[in-house]
Structure 1
């Protein structure tokens, strides 16, 4: 058994060479990347035999935690209405169940890389899994709106740490020439979890109890913790590394202000004083963060990652995909439930094929990356996403479910084909001593771009829906005599109003899909700048036993 829990009693970790008492300013290449090749018989995942892929079992441990933390974001959405009825809360109050989680997670993500470096990736991952399961249990026992919001904030803290340290750990245990295959499997947590969330959540809400969407994390967490203790290798820690408090304060204020403005902008109004003040504070705080990070000896996030164009390019492409992915994942279920009358579980079943397609395509995309690099799968995948999104934009209020399933499944194939090669190529271009920072920045961009994209799409939907409604109202006219009093007239007016709202929503959603298709198409030229060709082999993963 080899874990971080007994790290202090060992001296066999990666990078445990003696260090000077005072920190060295921005080392260019820590002596961490050339450990003595381990005895294959001691490597996790081999069962005591040489050969094979010793990183497979540790990778699956990381996937379990990643899947649990990401699933919780999308699975909660389908339970909002039921929770609202149980708590007797208003719609605005219930929005904070999701908003509070996003805000807390956005604040903790930048510090996650420091935690992994300071205390060891495996140790931090295991502790985060424990607390995520505990706080999920508290969410399941929530008794009113205030308690569920408070527990969601607590849950978001380990929920923000897990993706960062898991991704950094992956780059420590997997050889560079196998990163594509590993990331294809790891991507099941990033992309497949949000896609499967509505199906699983819909079933639990409709046929069992909404509290199980939180309690389900407990057995997963217990198994994940035990697996981490037994199968994760021991990672190094930098005991003398201090937390960059000014940098953390600046980025925390900046992200909190920006995310809060984006979440509440549609309600408060984009030109309202609270929204404008928060946006201004957010921009200034993030600018201050950049200045601080360029000056301190031990930055919270090493911004040198942006000096590597392949990594920066991958972030731009990840932002494009995330905006489109989560926007469509949000509005298609709304359309199916509110305007086609489907239940939560029926909606989840209709969306299930796209999740299954992703589960099949993503590992395949990883193997393709290992053979030919990121350029071809990324460009082809983005082209497929753009084309299928454009086709979706032709929806009508009575669109057939078969047609919708086919387009969503094809779109999911494009996302699965593009996402992992883009992430792998970007992170793989960084020197190994920047991998923790790259993982944190990558996760931060995914979360922020999803929030920004959804907020922008919500604003666009609101404007377009209002315009479409006004246009149709001006052209609409009641039949002669139907506007008179009585139940019949009132019923006809209600039916016309409902039809008007449905048509306005579909028109606005189609405009949104056209915009998303164009944005995705703009990413194809960027994808063509990615590296082509088989990634260079490495000397092996930087892990210890």
Structure 2
């Protein structure tokens, strides 16, 4: 069957199905973040356990994304996308029925399996549906869909938490996933590439255990200490496992993890920029809700509303990225977006206990603009730097690295916050048990303060948390500045143009032919 270069007639309807799928993921991410302080109080979860509730999803997500993308290539991307939404729905149902922290972590891991099928397949069909002239707009719409789910999540999730039990934040995903399934079945054409590499079970196991060991070491270090034998052993094991993964994939004739793509400068640097942005975003979304709830005293619904400035800035930037890139070039826009992000983090690091929400809303708005103007052109530039016949494996690698950045962001920045909070908290005069409990999280400290009637402990908890958040924001600022410098010096400025030239002289990938079936 001869491939054609004509645009797919249902491509915008198909994009609607992908948007519905991405809404589910964005919706769930922020619902959990705003629910964590409430769950910490009702389930007695420590900061480390809260990190695991967030990271169990992200680690499984990152570890399984590449094999999930290959399953879509071989057996049909629409079929696997529907399966992913079904697994995500099942995990959400398990989460709503969970009775303790461990059950919640297990449910989040199941949801990660579903998300691993949804994310790369939603992106990998874009090059077969849209040409280079329309792809930037399509990427922007998918990014906007993810972003739109983010402000809806805290608002609806906060309302649910104020009126129902914490499990309702999982239950609300069921109709969202069902709508996504229906949209994919009726609107999305089937695409596949039967010639893609087979799923390598050993490589999948190496990536999952290696990432899990790395995240475990980072999360447990503040509690146990970096010199603890278990932490050191787990960190060493992660290095060995991940090194084994790289060696195995480099020797494979048809690798699942196509590391040769990182030799393409446009793909490598755009992927690095998108990964660092995900690192900052995930860390910020983990540390902000406890500040808004425990320190400023807002309820869950109020916390969701107060995250809107960042989401608003992100939506504006995602919508406006395409014309700005067309005028100034991707390199300038990505670099400027990262500089804006660094400035917002630096401004946020000036937050004090007495700053109030107005100052927070200001730097959150600037943060959203920086996110959007850096991540949308970076992701489009990474996809545009890929050969058409490697769009599936390349988009899988891009999203895998982004999710790894998110997992490390939650683990590293959350651990930095936990260590700083515990070291600064004044527990003088408290019994040993109460002192240990207070040091587990700012929510726990406020519960102990209320039980003991200690206004001093509550004030110390607020000051200690803001101190930890300041350190997190300073790290975010430095990471963003380094990424901006690398982008300004090394990033190619016109990956889309180069891709267009290649596509004029080479047949379109087999997936395009399949798209018309």
TM over 0.5: yes
1:416: how far off?
0.9
Matched residue, 2:12: 56
Which stretch has the larger CA shift, 139-148 or 268-277? Answer: 139-148
Distance 1:354 1:457 in 2: 19
Q: Say whether 1:175 aligns with 2:131.
A: yes
* Residue aligning to 1:476: none
1:524 to 484, 505, 512: 484
What is residue 163 of structure 1 aligned with on the other side?
119
User: Do structure 1's residue 117 and structure 2's residue 73 form an aligned pair?
Assistant: yes
Could you tell me which residue of structure 2 aligns to residue 400 of structure 1? 356
CA contact 2:321–2:373 (8 Å) conserved in 1: yes
Assess, with a 3 A threshold, how the Cα gap between structure 1 residues 396 and 144 changes in structure 2: closer, same or farther. Answer: closer
Q: Offset at 1:206?
A: 1.0
RMSD: 3.0
* 2:516 equivalent to 1:544: yes
Write the deviation string for residues 212-251 of structure 1: whole angstroms up to 9, x where unpaired: 3222222222222222122212212317853223322322
In structure 1, the residue matched to 2:199 is: 243
Indicate which of 384, 392, 415 corresponds to 1:436: 392
Tell me by how many angstroms 1:306 deviates: 0.7
Partner of 1:496: 456
Aligned in 2, Cα 1:263/1:160: closer, same or farther, shift over 3 Å?
A: farther
> What SS is found at the alignment partner of 1:271?
coil
Alpha-carbon displacement from aligned partner over 1:439-485 (angstroms, at most 9, x marks no partner): 22222222211221232223333444455558x99xxxxxxxxxxxx
Contact 2:311 2:368 in 1 (8 A): yes
Aligned to 1:51: none
Is the partner of 1:342 in helix, strand or coil? coil
**Secondary structure of 2:125 counterpart:** helix
Partner residue of 1:65 out of 13, 18, 21: 21
What pairs with 1:10-409 in structure 2 (closer than 5 Å)? 35-38=3-6, 43-44=9-10, 55-83=11-39, 96-238=52-194, 241-370=197-326, 372-409=328-365
Contact 2:59–2:407, Cα closer than 8 Å, also in 1: no
Quote the Cα distance in structure 2 between the aligned partners of 1:205 and 1:136.
16
In 2, Cα distance between equivalents of 1:364 and 1:144? 43
Report the Cα offset of residue 418 of structure 1.
Answer: 1.2
1:450 maps to: 406
CA 1:330–1:268: 2 relative to 1, 3 Å = same
Per-residue Cα deviation, 1:73-98 (whole angstroms, up to 9, x for no partner): 33123334545666677776666443
Question: How far is 1:189 from its partner?
Answer: 4.0
CA contact (8 A) 2:123 2:395 kept: yes
SS in 2 for 1:288: helix
Change (3 A) 1:263 1:463: closer
Check the 8 A contact 2:22/2:146 in 1, yes or no. Answer: yes
**Change in 2 beyond 3 A, CA 1:61/1:91:** same
**Cα distance in 2 for residues equivalent to 1:338 and 1:85:** 11
**Cα distance, 1:269 vs. partner?**
2.8
Per-residue CA deviation, residues 92-147 of structure 1 (Å, 9 max, x unaligned), is: 66664434333432332231222122112222112212222233233323355554
User: CA 1:209–1:523 in structure 2 vs 1: closer, same or farther (change >3 Å)?
Assistant: same
Q: Is the 8 A contact 1:196 1:355 kept in 2?
A: no
- Kept after mapping to 2: 8 A contact 1:318/1:419: yes
Q: How far apart, in 1, do the equivalents of 2:99 and 2:464 lie?
A: 38
Distance in 2, Cα, partners of 1:70 & 1:431: 29
Structure exhibiting the larger radius of gyration computed from Cα positions: 1
> Retained in 2: the 8 A contact 1:368–1:377?
yes
The structure richer in helix per residue is 2
Alpha-carbon distance in 2 for matches of 1:104, 1:203: 29
Give the drift of 1:170.
1.8
1:511 to 448, 467, 471: 471
Gaps of 5+ in 2: 430-449
**Do the aligned residues in 2 keep the contact of 1:80 with 1:94 (CA within 8 Å)?**
yes
Q: How far 1:412 moved relative to its partner?
A: 0.6
Ranges in structure 1 where 5+ consecutive residues have no aligned partner: 1-16, 18-33, 45-54, 474-489
For these two proteins, the number of residue pairs brought into alignment is 485
Is contact 2:384–2:495 with CA below 8 Å preserved after alignment?
Answer: no
Task: Tell me, yes or no, if the aligned pair for 1:107 and 1:251 is still in contact at 8 Å.
Answer: yes
Deviates more, 1:179-188 or 1:73-82: 73-82
Tell me the secondary structure at the aligned position of residue 535 of structure 1.
helix
Structure 1 residues 438 and 138: CA distance shift in structure 2, 3 A? same
CA contact (8 A) 1:305 1:437 kept: no
**Distance in structure 2 (CA, Å) of the matches to 1:128 and 1:302:** 23
Kindly indicate whether the alpha-carbon contact (under 8 Å) linking 1:78 and 1:205 is maintained by their aligned counterparts in 2.
no
- Cα deviation, 1:195-224, whole Å, max 9, x if unaligned, reads 543233212111344333222222222222
Match of 1:21 in 2: none
Task: Give me the TM-score of the superposition, normalised by structure 1.
Answer: 0.81
Cα distance 1:370–1:207, how it changes in 2: closer, same or farther (>3 A)? farther
Query: What is the alpha-carbon distance in structure 1 between the residues aligned to residue 80 and residue 329 of structure 2?
Result: 32
Query: How far apart in 1 are the matches of 2:88 and 2:177?
Result: 8
- Which has the higher mean CA deviation after the structures are superposed, 428-437 or 201-210? 201-210
